[in-house]
Amino acid sequence: MKKKIDSSVKIGDWQLANPIMTASGTFGYGVEYSDFVNLNSLGAIVVKGISIKPRPGNPPPRIVETACGMLNAIGLENPGLDRFISEKMPLLRKLKCSVVVNILGDTLDEYCVLAEQLCDQDIAGIEANISCPNVKKGGVAFGTEARMVYDLTRKIKKKCNKPLIVKLSPNVTDISAIALAAEEGGASAVSLINTLLGMAIDIKSRKPKLANIVGGLSGPAIKPIALRMVWQVAQRVKIPVIGIGGIKSVEDVIEFMLAGATAVQIGTANLVNPSIAGEIVREFEKYLHVNRIHSAKELIKGLN
């Protein structure tokens, strides 16, 4: 009798059917992709970031295509917490796959309010985007100071007992130190990397191509950096690491897992091929079968 292949992975007590997740900001609220992907086949959907009040985002142009990637300066546009709960959650509750809500705020208190109110919702967990500017600290991003990361993580955990993923910015000197601070604060996992800061210039007008001047670089161009950072962080923390950055094939998924990722998030590739997440789920299961790998967990930190 053949041994059944187990595609599942665990983040604390939370079990995902497989390690394939979608990255916040690239998959809407999931339902927008339902014509292209069997949403219930995914390990998890991470919805577009939610703030307490609605945000209009930055003025256009907000997206620029680059070599092997893209720059975006969307500005965290979203309908706000109340509309998310009333308009989006009824649809998300119908899904069988795990739903994770990405949250963002300008202050520690805003993160805590979001976590507390979302804790009562039928979701698998929360992902805290800590790359947002902290107004009270003069524009310093939460995610660049280890002490602030520790404080933010600890306070969110006090407000919500669901799994907490802390999403890390790569725009720091030592991302491992930031990951350790999140772990010490009680994070269930860390996800990395968020976008790298970049810009593009129109040489005819001699003006920036983005109205915001700078934006976040994502896509295959950042994969080697993301892979290196995942490997570094996975050696320092005991909690699971979720890899993000330029993933567009099952081979990319395997690389991230061998480097130490328990799961991965597919981002920019969704905008190129809206069916890609579902395709990678099927290719991942095929990879395990062909290579006689009985459990996806065997791949985690499997680098020789």
Residue 101 pairs in a beta bridge with: 47, 126
Rounded to whole angstroms, the Cα distance separating 265 from 247 reads 8
Which residue from 258, 257, 196, 254 is spatially nearest to 225, judged by alpha carbons? 196
Catalytic member of 97, 112, 132, 160: 132
Active-site annotation holds for 68: no
Residue 140 pairs in a beta bridge with: 134
CA distances from 197 to 71, 83, 169, 222, 262 (A): 9, 30, 10, 11, 26
Which residue from 151, 170, 143 is spatially nearest to 243, judged by alpha carbons? 170
Stretch (H or E) spanning 190: strand 189-192
Contact 116, 157 (CB under 8 A): no
CA distances from 65 to 27, 68, 132, 219 (A): 18, 8, 23, 10
Contact 235, 175 (CB under 8 A): no
DSSP state at residue 221: G
Which pair of tokens denotes residue 220? Answer: 């295959």
Identify the burial level of 205 via C-beta atoms within 10 angstroms of its C-beta, where 0-12 means exposed, 13-18 middle and 19 or more buried: exposed
Which residue from 193, 251, 241 is spatially nearest to 217, judged by alpha carbons? 193
Q: Hunting for tokens 């490997």 — which residue is that?
A: 231
24 C-beta neighbours (distance < 10 Å), count:
27
Amino acid at 35: D
Catalytic residues: 132
